[in-house]
Amino acid sequence: MVTCHGGHVQELSMVQQNLSGTLSPAIGRLRSLRSLSLRQNAISGPIPKTIGRMKLLHVLDLSNNQFSGSIPSTLGSMVNLRYLKLNNNSLSGPVPDSLATARMIFILDISFNNLSGPRPTFRAWNAFLDGNPLLSDINCEGSESGVGTPLYGRSCSESLAFPAVGPEDTRKDDSRVMDKKIMILTVCIALGCSMVAMVAGAVILFRHWRQRQRVFSVAEVQHCREVSLGHLKHYKFKEIRKATDNFNIRNILGEGGYGIVYKGHFPGGTPIAVKRLKDHDSVIGDDQFHTEVEVISLAVHRNLLHLIGFCTANNERILVYPYMPNGTVASKLKEYVNGEPALDWPRRKRIALGASRGLLYLHEQCDPKIIHRDIKASNILLDDYLEAIVADFGLAKLVDHGMSHVVTTVRGTVGRIPPEYFLSGHASEKTDVFCFGLLLIELVTGRETLELHQNEYQKGGILEWAKELLAQNQLSSFADKKLRNNYDSVELEEMVQIALLCTMYSPKHRPRISEVVTMLEEGDGVAEKWEAMKNVEEPNPEDLKYQAIAINYYEDQCSSTELQAVELSGPR
């Protein structure tokens, strides 16, 4: 997949494409590239040093290939690089000092190569180096050659040997005394080793904790320290306060369970959106903050919101984003321009496609994959060209590609919780697919899902109602009245069918997001999948009332921030 913007290539992803040969040094000419992923191919030869010229690169994934030679030192000078994976290759030689001291990298994986020499002290947040048998920490003869713990499960400890008890004529009593002494000595040594291991483990955990805190620690001083974390800037609190006019209520763009979003301006007039987290001193608020920074640092795509910077001063948790002048899809669906709806049918189709492409990147092109868990119209922003930008990653989960789902605390938005997630806490890519189906319903009807649920004749059965209207060929009753029938009826029918496919009760019956993108792009496969769905046994409508139960439950628990979602942006 190749993504371009403004005439420049910004993303190049060729994952598992059976590519072979060598990587040309000409790759360094792609100066605007932000993400390069060539994992799981058969590319050999050295890694070109010219990659270091791509100063805007955030993600570099060359894992699971056949690259050989040394790691170019130029990689350590890439100031925006946040995610570097070179694991499972045949790289050799020492780890470059420039890479070891690069503090902007969030994930560094050089495991399972043939690297040698002393192990440096890495400044990356997460460094993976196991599987390099020649990369050593401690010289087994006694002298230290590095810092840290062994990387390949090797141990330099030798077996303890004791001298003979004495000559053959030594008395039996003396022998017993000596045996007892040996036994006591052995026990003491064993206990001592255990204590050393425990202390060493505690030190390692403490160092790891301190390493995390270096970037995201709450400053005890009045203003936060200004540092540069790759492409993310650590702002001073006074800068944020000045930009938002001391968090003036007139600048509020939106508010949700986790925070308030303000509009602001930096010197020079640059508009920004400032998300000030509530409960910043709670575990939930802190997790929300770390998750959002972590996910957005890894995910770089045209249809995903990027983070400008953050601030952690005065017990605050603040995130700074670019300001989106067209607000959210939810707010835009309600607007008129010169008597016409702000979002006509072609724009709604384009929004659906853009949001699906953003999800496709999160699910199938990120490693680890990312589950958003709160896809809805109020979390889809619109840029200057009304392109869809998926935002608000505070509830997102990072999941290994080998895992089908994760079990987690149920969080999300009222009326948008998939059945398997609400009932058992199982979250997967199909959780997002379900929510995306509801987003399509919002684009078709022009109303938020909860609003549709709260109509008495539809409550708990919005999906069944859509099916009935589809079967009766009466979708005009379902379409947004603001459109005044200015839409392609075939396209409308297909979008409703895709929405119903995405919201099937069982996650195994829902399409993958890549299939959804294909259906939205080309219309291919919609009719076939819809016909196949008719033969699938789904729970009867009575069983689908879990949504109504969920709504009532959430209304009773509305004070719980655990069960509310952040609305990144409100009407602007």
- 202-206, 275-279, 309-313: which is most confident: 309-313
What CATH number is given to the structural domain containing 539?
Answer: 1.10.510.10
The average confidence (pLDDT) of the chain is 73
- Crossing angle, helix 489-502 and helix 526-533, to 10 degrees? 50
Domain shared by 109 and 250, yes or no? no
For residues 222-236, average pLDDT? 55
Longest Cα–Cα distance in the chain:
114
In a domain, 37, yes or no: yes
- For residues 313 and 374, state if they share a domain: no
pLDDT value of residue 488: 93
pLDDT at res. 135: 64
Which sign, positive or negative, has the C-alpha torsion 256, 258, 263, 269? negative
What CATH number is attached to the domain comprising 92? 3.80.10.10
Task: Give the model's confidence band at 239: pLDDT under 50 very low, under 70 low, under 90 confident, else very high.
Answer: very high
Same domain flag for 290 and 374: no
The two structure tokens encoding residue 196: 């050393």
What are the phi and psi torsion angles at 409 (to 5°)?
-60, 135
Last residue of a domain, one of 287, 302, 322: 322
| Mean pLDDT of the 156-173 span | 35
Q: Is residue 179 one of the residues assigned to a domain? A: no
Rounded CA-CA distance 237/68 in Å is 46
**CATH code at position 274:** 3.30.200.20
pTM (two decimals): 0.57
Q: Which of 2-11, 36-45, 230-239 has the lowest mean pLDDT?
A: 2-11
Residue 427 lies in a domain: yes
State how far the Cα of 345 lies from the Cα of 195, in Å rounded to an integer: 69
Q: Which of 331, 333, 378 is nearest to 355 (CA)?
A: 378
Same domain, 303 and 382: no
**End residue of a domain, out of 275, 302, 322:** 322
Percent of the chain residues topping a pLDDT of 70: 64
Strand partners, 44: 22, 66
**Position 168 pLDDT exceeds 60:** no
Q: Are residues 18 and 70 in the same domain?
A: yes
Above 70 in pLDDT, residue 433?
Answer: yes
The answer for residues whose C-beta is within 8 angstroms of residue 238's C-beta and 6 or more apart is 223
Distance CA 289, CA 319 (A): 8
> How high is the pLDDT of residue 565?
36
The full 3-state SS of 132-187, as one line of letters, equals CCEEECECCCCCECCCCCCCCCCCCCCCCCCCCCCCCCCCHHHHHHHHHHHHHHHH
Q: Give the amino acid at 23.
A: L
Mean pLDDT confidence for 426-451: 87
Q: Mean pLDDT, to the nearest integer, of 529-536?
A: 83
Instruction: Please state, in angstroms and rounded to a whole number, the distance separating the CA atoms of residues 332 and 329.
Output: 5
Highest-confidence segment of 403-407, 409-413, 444-448, 453-457: 444-448
CB 66 within 8 A of CB 44: yes
**122 and 268 housed in the same domain:** no
| Band of residue 158 on the pLDDT scale cut at 50, 70, 90 | very low
Model confidence at 556, in pLDDT bands (50, 70, 90)? very low
> Coil, strand, or helix at residue 362?
helix
The answer as to whether 128 is a domain residue is yes
The domain total for the chain is 3
Q: Of the ranges 142-151, 366-375, 513-522, which is most confident?
A: 513-522
Is 158 domain-assigned?
no
248-303 pLDDT tens trace = 999 998 876 567 899 999 988 889 999 888 755 444 556 667 666 766 666 778 89
pLDDT higher than 60, residue 209: no
Contact 570, 538 (CB under 8 A): no
* Paired sense of beta strands 90-93 and 114-118, if any: parallel
Task: Determine the average pLDDT of the residues in 234-238.
Answer: 89
Asked whether residue 318 falls in the same domain as residue 336, the answer is no
Check pLDDT > 60 for residue 571. Answer: no
* Cβ–Cβ < 8 Å for 377, 329: yes
The predicted pLDDT at position 56 comes to: 87
- The residue annotated as part of the active site, out of 109, 374, 392, 480, is 374
559 and 458 part of one domain: yes
Give yes or no: 173 in active site. no
Q: Are residues 335 and 254 in the same domain?
A: no
Residue 456 CA to residue 68 CA, distance in Å, equals: 66
pLDDT at position 208 over 60 = no
Position 141 in a domain: no
| Contact between residue 570 and residue 331 where contact means Cβ atoms under 8 Å apart | yes
Q: What are the φ/ψ torsions at residue 39 (nearest 5 degrees)?
A: -70, 155
Question: What confidence score (pLDDT) does residue 100 get?
Answer: 75
Query: Is 193 among the domain residues?
Result: no
Please check if 238 is assigned to a binding site: no
Q: What confidence tier does 29 reach under pLDDT thresholds 50, 70, 90?
A: confident
- 370 Rama class: left (phi>0) / alpha (psi -120 to 50) / beta: beta
Range name among 175-179, 188-192, 445-449 with the lowest pLDDT average? 175-179
532 and 553 in a single domain? The answer is yes
Claim to verify: residue 295 and residue 346 sit in the same structural domain: no
Range of the domain at 242: 228-322
Domain boundary among 258, 289, 322: 322
- In tens, the pLDDT along 358-411 reads 999 988 887 778 888 889 998 999 998 999 999 887 676 555 545 444 444 445
Say if residue 271 is in the same domain as residue 352.
no
Give the three-state DSSP class for 50.
helix
Q: Give me the pLDDT at residue 424, please.
A: 64
Question: Is 123 among the domain residues?
Answer: yes
The two tokens of residue 493 are: 């029918």
Instruction: Name, in order, each residue with C-beta under 8 angstroms of 374's C-beta and a sequence gap of 6 or more.
Output: 392, 394, 395, 411, 412, 413, 416, 435, 565, 566
